[in-house]
Amino acid sequence: MPLPACDPTGSVPCRTNLNFLPEWTALVLYAVTGIALLVLAYGLWSRWRTWKAGPAGSTGASLWLHLNRLLVIALFQKKVARRRYAGVMHLLMYTGFIALAIGTTLVALNMDVLSHVNLDILRGNPYLIFKAALDFMGLAFLVGLGLVFFRRLVQRPKYLRNERPDLFLPGILFLLILQGYLLEAIRLAVLQPQWEEWSFFGYSLSLVLRAVGVNSSLATITATATGVTITPVPALAWAYGALWWFHAGTWSFLLATLPWTKASHFLFSPARTFYENAEPYGHLPKDFDIDVVMQEGVAQPMLGAASTRAFSWFDRLQLDACTICGRCTSVCPAWATGKPLDPMHVVLDLKDAMLKEARKKPLGEPLPDYVGYEELFDCTTCMACMQECPVSIRHVPLIVELRRNFVLEIGKMPEETQGMLRNIETNFNPWGIGWDQRGNWAAEVGVRTLSEVVAAGETVDVLYWVGCAASFDDRNKRVAQSFSRLLQKAGVKFAILGSEEKCTGDPARRLGDEFRAQMMIKANVETLNRYAVKKIVTACPHCFNTLKNEYPDFGGNYEVVHHSVFLDELLREGKLRPTKEVQDFLTFHDACYLGRYNKVYEEPRDVLMRLPGVKTVEMKMCRDKGFCCGAGGARMWMEEKVGEKVNHRRLDHIAETGAKTVASACPYCLIMFDDAAKTKNREDLARADIAELLEKSL
């Protein structure tokens, strides 16, 4: 029979005493929960101790920035939502789990604390809404879990097919939600309260139970002046108690084992998001200073990552934060073209090494070899993995640290890069052409060097940093000349360094040769500071990123502008007025070091949109989802011996748009596209820098 008189919608406080469980249940539950919390605390403490084995370091972020990242990325799942299927899946599970946790907490608070002071917060119409909301969120949670099982067992994304499906976490969560609904269904089948339909999902299950004989006839209901007492028959009490304890035990097990299972990302991922390094994505850490290392009697620093203890504690935390979702791998151009590199496994291998080192177990080989020689040097440092990672793991700095140890300690690097490094050391450029010829291209357009300007007693508004590609590569010399003519036409007072300019150190630094990189950086900083340079414009995103984000570590603080941004400003100010029609159908390729690294997406497109007669089309993989040309991370000087060439794959993306021209704003990309077009017999697909296209329209 239904509950008599007593109902949560009544105006008189109502107490329902459920004798489904013995009186000692609460005390035992407290003890079990306490033990689970102690095990959890021990697990977290041991993990904390493992992380703190690395250098202290500093994230360089304010408390507000930490909280902002926690709110936007962890709480509102900004990065997770970048993918539709996974975004919906996580939204359903994430919101459902939180809602159920809050609801369970409120019920426990109401029953175990407030009831002792004769206070009831779960009554009246708000209680009915509370019950309906919990059932709805629980159903959403179930749908989310269903999507997880479908993805792991049926869809099996290509980047996860080598992984054994990890069903522990979704399995135990499914078990918990199922147990909760069954317990609710038993209570509703027996009590049959007037408001039972508000718990619509539990009510539906209770109808099934009633059909097999689980109903109010299995309990004695006694009404009193203060409430109602329900006493089930012994068989029902035993069955309910067994299920209840199974539910409590499952939850306690999940809680206690949390630090050692994939469920750890419930805590470690938000912690990683909170403690993310505030340095720009384009910044590599300076582990040591060569001037100090070269001094006699100075203790030698660790060169690169010979151990995971080389990583700061918050970098070690990110190894534990990996959710093994494979998103980083799915967007990796090296992996997509059949190379051994798997960014997710780089992180997992480092995590495994960190835990072995914490237990004082030998790796059996140097740490970089433990991760993989081919894997590490396959990386183009395009940062797609970092952009996509939902918990903001920074793969590229980890990879470069391992490369540093390979190059500086172990002495292993791709053979073809050794010539490039020698060229940088002897002629200050990767091409190996005489350093005194760096400014020869400028004679045709009448560009002066800064030393000539200073000798004449004049000043300039901006220094044009040409870069090695535009100084020595014949194709990119034409870009430098076009850009110089544009500056002259706009009335900009500028100069170049000429033979005083040296490689910024980017190729050597990304390869792992920090010594040669710092030699170039320090020489350039000395030159720039001697001339008191304030503002620099460059057409090379690699030079742009290094000068802007890394030179400040070495005393080089300048305003650095990419030529796409500078040209856009000149157009907006009316100093350049394109009037001649350029009949072209083109697509724009986002250079990794300009786009993902420094968030410059709109300015080069604005320049192209201002050209009369030009029509544009976007590639499917564009902007922050763009695909690398294959040249970054010193890969331009390495042979691709495995799989498809990255620049060939990107040329296919360009061809798919039907565009007649691909516009770029990076000399490396231009070189890679020229090579791919010639190799694949696609010379009909024109390649041009935005400066060249703009000059055509004047």
The string of DSSP letters for 72-129 reads IIIIS-TTGGGSHHHHHHHHHHHHHHHHHHHHHHHHHHHHHTGGGGT--SS-HHHHHH
Residue 88, token pair as written in the block: 């919906």
Q: Which CATH architecture is the domain 275-412 placed in?
A: Orthogonal Bundle (1.10)
Whether residue 685 contacts residue 661, with contact meaning beta carbons closer than 8 Å, is answered with: yes
Q: Give the pLDDT confidence of 484-515 residue by residue, as tens digits.
A: 999 999 999 999 999 999 999 999 999 999 99
For CATH 3.40.50.1860, the residue range(s) in the chain are 430-572
Q: What is the pLDDT of residue 58?
A: 75
Mean pLDDT, residues 302-312 taken together = 89
Q: What is the pLDDT of residue 3?
A: 42
Q: Round to whole Å and give the CA distance between 415 and 620.
A: 36
Which residues, in sequence order, are bridge partners of residue 253?
A: none
Mean pLDDT, residues 169-189 taken together = 91
Gap between the terminal Cα atoms of the chain: 89
Mean of the per-residue pLDDT values of the chain: 90
190-199, 261-270, 646-655: segment of lowest average pLDDT: 190-199
Mean pLDDT, residues 105-122 taken together = 71
Mean pLDDT, residues 423-446 taken together = 95
Q: Round to whole Å and give the CA distance between 178 and 541.
A: 54
Which residues, in sequence order, are bridge partners of residue 68?
A: none
Q: Round to whole Å and give the CA distance between 694 and 580.
A: 10
Mean pLDDT, residues 345-356 taken together = 96
Strands (E), 436-514: 462-465, 494-495
In angstroms, the Cα distances linking 182 to 247, 421, 578 are 10, 68, 72
Is pLDDT at 255 greater than 70 in this prediction? yes
Exposed (0-12), middle (13-18) or buried (19+): which is 684, by Cβ within 10 Å? exposed
Q: Round to whole Å and give the CA distance between 686 and 573.
A: 30
Task: Compute CA 132 distance to the chain's CA centroid, rounded to the nearest angstrom.
Answer: 37
Three-class SS state of 366 = coil
pLDDT category at 77 given cuts 50, 70, 90 is: confident
Q: What is the pLDDT of residue 125?
A: 80
289 closest CA partner among 555, 629, 506, 622: 555
Q: Max alpha carbon distance in the chain (Å)?
A: 106
398 closest CA partner among 411, 383, 418: 383
Q: What is the pLDDT of residue 17?
A: 60
pTM above 0.85, yes or no: yes
Task: Compute CA 503 distance to the chain's CA centroid, rounded to the nearest angstrom.
Answer: 30
Which residues, in sequence order, are bridge partners of residue 560?
A: 536
For CATH 1.10.1060, the residue range(s) in the chain are 275-412
672 closest CA partner among 647, 646, 642, 654: 647
Q: What is the pLDDT of residue 102?
A: 87
Q: What is the pLDDT of residue 6?
A: 42
166-170, 327-331, 372-376: segment of lowest average pLDDT: 166-170
Which residues, in sequence order, are bridge partners of residue 228?
A: 16, 223
Q: Round to whole Å and give the CA distance between 333 and 650.
A: 9
Tokens 């306490």 locate to: 34
**Which pairs with CB-CB distance under 8 Å and at least 24 residues apart come from 3-8?**
3/191, 3/192, 3/193, 3/194, 3/221, 3/228, 4/221, 4/223, 4/228, 5/223, 5/228, 6/223, 6/227, 6/228, 7/193, 7/194, 7/195, 8/122, 8/123, 8/124, 8/127, 8/128, 8/193, 8/195
Q: What is the pLDDT of residue 470?
A: 97
Residue 67, token pair as written in the block: 């909280």
Q: Round to whole Å and give the CA distance between 240 and 242.
A: 5
Is pLDDT at 1 greater than 60 in this prediction? no
Residue 668, token pair as written in the block: 């490396």
Q: What is the pLDDT of residue 427?
A: 96
258 closest CA partner among 302, 320, 306: 320
Q: What is the 3-state secondary structure (H, E, C) of 262-321?
A: HHHHHHHHHHHHHCCCCCCCCCCCCCCCHHHHCCCCCCCCCCCCCCHHHCCHHHHHHHHH
Q: Round to whole Å and give the CA distance between 213 and 130.
A: 28
Mean pLDDT, residues 255-279 taken together = 89
Backbone φ/ψ region at 392: left (φ over 0), alpha (ψ -120 to 50), beta: left
Q: Round to whole Å and give the CA distance between 12 and 362.
A: 69
365 secondary structure, DSSP code: S
* Element at 256 (helix H, strand E): helix 234-257
Q: Give the pLDDT confidence of 583-613 residue by residue, as tens digits.
A: 899 999 999 999 999 999 999 999 999 999 9
For CATH 3.40.50.10700, the residue range(s) in the chain are 584-696
523 closest CA partner among 548, 495, 545, 551: 551
Whether residue 459 contacts residue 493, with contact meaning beta carbons closer than 8 Å, is answered with: yes
In angstroms, the Cα distances linking 115 to 13, 111, 112, 192, 228 are 11, 5, 6, 22, 14
Q: Which residue has the higher pLDDT, 329 or 198?
A: 329
Mean pLDDT, residues 137-144 taken together = 92
Q: Which residue has the higher pLDDT, 562 or 279?
A: 562
pLDDT category at 12 given cuts 50, 70, 90 is: very low
Q: Round to whole Å and give the CA distance between 209 and 199.
A: 15
**φ, ψ of residue 157 in degrees (nearest 5):** -50, 145
551 secondary structure, DSSP code: G
110 closest CA partner among 204, 16, 236: 16
In angstroms, the Cα distances linking 674 to 498, 558, 594, 690 are 26, 33, 20, 15
405 secondary structure, DSSP code: H
**DSSP sequence for 405-465:** HIIIII----HHHHHHHHHHHHHSSTT---GGGTTGGGGGGTPPBHHHHHHTT---SEEEE
Whether residue 382 contacts residue 592, with contact meaning beta carbons closer than 8 Å, is answered with: yes
475 secondary structure, DSSP code: H
CATH T-level fold of 430-572: Rossmann fold (3.40.50)
What percent of the chain is modeled with pLDDT above 70? 94
**Pick among 3.20.20.70, 3.40.50.10700, 1.10.357.10, 3.40.109.10: CATH of 584-696:** 3.40.50.10700
Q: What is the pLDDT of residue 278?
A: 82
Residue 665, token pair as written in the block: 């704003």
Q: Which residue has the higher pLDDT, 172 or 128?
A: 172
pLDDT category at 129 given cuts 50, 70, 90 is: confident
Mean pLDDT, residues 32-47 taken together = 95
Q: Round to whole Å and give the CA distance between 148 and 170.
A: 7
Give the dihedral sign, CA 518/524/527/531: negative
Q: Round to whole Å and give the CA distance between 579 and 125.
A: 69
Whether residue 646 contacts residue 380, with contact meaning beta carbons closer than 8 Å, is answered with: yes
Tokens 């299972």 locate to: 261
Mean pLDDT, residues 7-13 taken together = 41
**φ, ψ of residue 448 in degrees (nearest 5):** -95, 160
Residue 200, token pair as written in the block: 């619509």
Mean pLDDT, residues 113-142 taken together = 80
Whether residue 336 contacts residue 371, with contact meaning beta carbons closer than 8 Å, is answered with: no
233 closest CA partner among 250, 246, 247, 215: 215
